[in-house]
Amino acid sequence: MRRLPWLLLLAVAASACGGSSKDSKTTTSTTAAAADYVTAGNQVCIRSDRRIFKIGRLSRDPKGWQQTAEAGRAAIAEMKKVTPPADRAAAFGQMMKFANALTLSIQEVHDALVKSNLDVASAAQFAAGRLQDRVHTAAKAAGLTFCQQPLTNWPV
């Protein structure tokens, strides 16, 4: 959320500078669109984190992993409705790609636990951890500050 006040300050500064009123309106609307994007994207991550928090700590019980995968799919569906500004579209696309892969890895942990295949579950969990890091890196590049947070139920 630290970027939001900065973006609003930029909008005020841009509108106070010289130039045509058309340039001022374009800059202000572009900045407002970027602020709206950050707010909308962060809200998706906040709602997702709340769903994850309600699931509780993950263990060898496959139920929690299934619920976490479902929460991931819900967040991805919500995030697809968010439109990034052009300068953040590539990073946003990367974030979405890694988020989808993360959700698939979490589902793989569940599926392996159901089959009592702890080696596969462990490998999938390791892969999911690496993907989560990539989601966070892409979220940072996309300007989504809250989306850089680790999942609240992630095992240590």
pLDDT of res. 154? 52
Q: What is the pLDDT of residues 65-116, one digit of tens each?
A: 999 999 999 999 999 999 999 999 999 999 999 999 999 999 999 999 999 9
Q: Which of 102, 104, 51 has its CA nearest to residue 74?
A: 51
Q: What is the pLDDT of residues 13-66, one digit of tens each?
A: 333 333 444 444 444 556 778 889 999 999 999 999 889 889 988 999 999 999
Residue 14 CB-density burial (10 A; 0-12 exposed, 13-18 middle, 19+ buried)? middle
CB contact at 8 A, 146 and 135: no
DSSP code for 150:
P
List the domain boundaries for the chain.
Answer: 3-148
pTM of the model: 0.76
